[in-house]
Structure 1
Amino acid sequence: MSRHNHRTMQQQSANQVRLIQSAVLCALGITVTVAAISLKGQSDPAEPTRACDLHFSNGYTLAGVPVAETVAQHTKGLSKRNDVGPGMLFTWPEPEPRIFWMRDTWIPLTIGFFDGDGRLFAIEDMQPNTDDHHASVHPAADALELPQGDFQRYGLQEGVRLTGRTCWLLDNEAMRKLEAE
C-alpha cells in the first residue's frame, strides 16, 4: 500500500469518527430537548391530580376538594400555601391510625378523621407552623383538612358520614392554580 493510500484511509477513518461523534451529540441534544419539553408540562408530583365534590349525610356538599392519594401528596398536604381553598381530602386504601402535623403550614386548620364506613369520628383544631402530632386514635380511611371554623360552618360534626364523592382529574391549569395558592 502506498503512503498516499494509507494517509487517505486515515483521513477517511478520522472523518467517520467525527461524523459518528456529531451524530451522537446531535441525538443526545434531541433527547435532552424532548425530555425538557415533556417535563415542562408536568407539575409537581406532590400536588393532587384529582379533586372531588364530597357529599355528607347532613345534606351538605363540599365542592372541588383536592385529593391527596400518594405518599408525596400526603407529605406535602396543605403546607406552604397562603390560601388553602376548600381544604384537602387525604385518602388511603386501608383504614389505619393516622398522624398529622402542621410544619410549614401557615393557616390554622381543623382535621376530621373518617372510618372505613365514612363516619366522622374525630375533629381536632391544629395550629400553624407546629410539629404537634394530631393522631386519629382509631383507624382512619380518610382525613379532611379545612380552614378552622369550616367544620362547624358546614354542620360537619362527629357521627356525620361521608356518603359519596364525585371526582375528576385536574388538568394542568387547575394544578398550576393549586400550586400558586
Structure 2
Amino acid sequence: MQSTAFSRSLAGLCAATLLCTASFADDCSFDQVSIKGDFGEMNFRVEIADDPQERATGLMNRESMPTLSGMLFVYETPQSLAFWMRNTLIPLDMIFVDERGKIAKIHPNAIPLDESPIHGGDDLTHVLEIGGGLAAKFGIKKGDILRHSSFIQNEAHWPCG
C-alpha cells in the first residue's frame, strides 16, 4: 500500500517538475540564447561579453567549443560593429543583431587568426559567435529572431517570459 502511495507521489512530483521546467523554458536565461526562424527554434548556451575587457578577449586562444555553445557580445547602445579573428583559433559564424533581436547579417566561417575587419552593419547591439558553419547547418538566416534577457522587450518580436 505504501509503495503505491509513494509511486503516485513520485509520479505527481515528476509531472509537477516537468510542468515547471516547461514554463521556465519560455523565460530567458542569462546564459542562453534562443533563435527562432523558418527552421524552428534552437538554443545555444552562451558566455556573455558585456564589458570592454570581455569584448576585447572574446573567444581568443580557445582550441575548441562545444557545438551548441557560443559567446554573446552585448553593447548598451546601437552602433556600427566590426569584428576580427585576432588570436582566435577556431572558425566562427558571426551573427550581427539589432536591439530587438533581429539578425541583420551573418558572416559565416570567419577564418581563424585573420585580422581583416568583418563589418556587421550599423545600429547593432549584439553579436552572437557560434561554431563556423553552424548557421548554415541549422538554417539560421538574416531576419531570424534571437531571444535573450538583454534585448529590448517588444511584443512584436519574441519577448522573454
Q: TM-score, normalised by structure 2?
A: 0.67
Residue 129 of structure 1: how far off its partner (Å):
0.6
Q: Which residue of 2 aligns with 1:16?
A: none
Of residues 73-82 and 54-63 in structure 1, the stretch that sits farther from structure 2 once superposed is 54-63
Q: Residue type of the partner of 2:34?
A: H
Q: Does 1:57 align with 2:36?
A: yes
Aligned pairs for 1:84-123 (under 5 A) are 84-85=65-66, 86-123=69-106
- Contact kept in structure 2, 1:60 and 1:154, CA below 8 Å: no
Q: Which residue of 1 aligns with 2:63?
A: 82
Q: State the alpha-carbon separation in 2 of the partners of residues 160 and 131 from structure 1.
A: 28
**CA 1:79/1:51 → structure 2, altered by over 3 Å: closer, same or farther?**
farther
Q: State the alpha-carbon separation in 2 of the partners of residues 135 and 63 from structure 1.
A: 23
- Contact kept in structure 1, 2:96 and 2:128, CA below 8 Å: yes
Q: Which structure is higher in strand share?
A: 2
Unaligned runs of 5+ in 2: 1-28, 151-161
| Larger gyration radius, structure 1 or structure 2 | 1
Unaligned runs of 5+ in 1: 1-49, 168-181
Q: Which residue of 1 aligns with 2:127?
A: 143
Residue 51 of structure 1: how far off its partner (Å):
5.1
Q: State the alpha-carbon separation in 2 of the partners of residues 144 and 159 from structure 1.
A: 14
Q: Does 1:161 align with 2:145?
A: yes
Q: Residue type of the partner of 2:123?
A: P
Cα offsets for 1:101-125 (capped at 9, x unmatched): 0011011111010011111010113
Q: Which residue of 1 aligns with 2:12?
A: none
Give SS of 1:93's match.
strand
Q: Residue type of the partner of 1:151?
A: A
- Contact kept in structure 2, 1:53 and 1:61, CA below 8 Å: no
Residue 56 of structure 1: how far off its partner (Å):
2.0
Q: TM-score, normalised by structure 1?
A: 0.60
- Contact kept in structure 1, 2:44 and 2:70, CA below 8 Å: no
What is the number of residues matched between the two proteins? 117
Q: State the alpha-carbon separation in 2 of the partners of residues 65 and 98 from structure 1.
A: 19
Of residues 54-63 and 111-120 in structure 1, the stretch that sits farther from structure 2 once superposed is 54-63
Give SS of 1:138's match.
strand
Q: Residue type of the partner of 2:78?
A: P
Residue 166 of structure 1: how far off its partner (Å):
6.2
Percent of pairs with identical residues: 26
Q: Which residue of 2 aligns with 1:130?
A: 114
Give SS of 1:117's match.
coil
